[in-house]
Amino acid sequence: MSELLYEKDGPIATITLNRPERMNTISGPMLAELSEKLLTANADRDVRAIILTGSGRAFCAGLDLQDASSGSGIGGGGSMGTTLDLRDAPPTVLHKLDTPVICALNGGAAGYGMDLALGCDIRVASSRAKLAAAFTKRGVLPESGGTWILPRLVGWAKAAEIIFTGRTLDADQCLQLGLVNQVVPEGSLLEATRALANEIAANAPLAVQSAKRMMRIGLSEQFDDHVHHVFLQLLPLFQSHDFREGMKSFLEKRDPKFQGK
At residue 72, does pLDDT exceed 60?
Answer: no
Look at residue 140 in the predicted model and tell me its pLDDT: 78
At residue 78, does pLDDT exceed 60?
Answer: no
At residue 77, does pLDDT exceed 50?
Answer: no
> Does an H or E element contain 183, and which?
strand 182-184
In total, the chain counts a number of residues equal to 261
Look at residue 71 in the predicted model and tell me its pLDDT: 53
Asked if 200 contacts 124 with a C-beta cutoff of 8 angstroms, the reply is no
Asked if 260 contacts 48 with a C-beta cutoff of 8 angstroms, the reply is yes
Residue 178: partners with Cβ closer than 8 Å, 6 or more residues away: 153, 154
Asked if 190 contacts 53 with a C-beta cutoff of 8 angstroms, the reply is yes
Q: Residue 229: count other Cβ atoms within 10 Å of its Cβ.
A: 14
Look at residue 64 in the predicted model and tell me its pLDDT: 85
pTM of the predicted protein model: 0.90
Fold of the CATH domain 4-201 = 2-enoyl-CoA Hydratase; Chain A, domain 1 (3.90.226)
The pLDDT-based confidence of 53 (bands split at 50, 70, 90) is very high
At residue 254, does pLDDT exceed 90?
Answer: yes
CA distance 16 to 8: 11
User: What is the pLDDT averaged over residues 116-133?
Assistant: 96
Q: In sequence order, what are the beta bridge partners of 170?
A: 130
Asked if 255 contacts 249 with a C-beta cutoff of 8 angstroms, the reply is yes
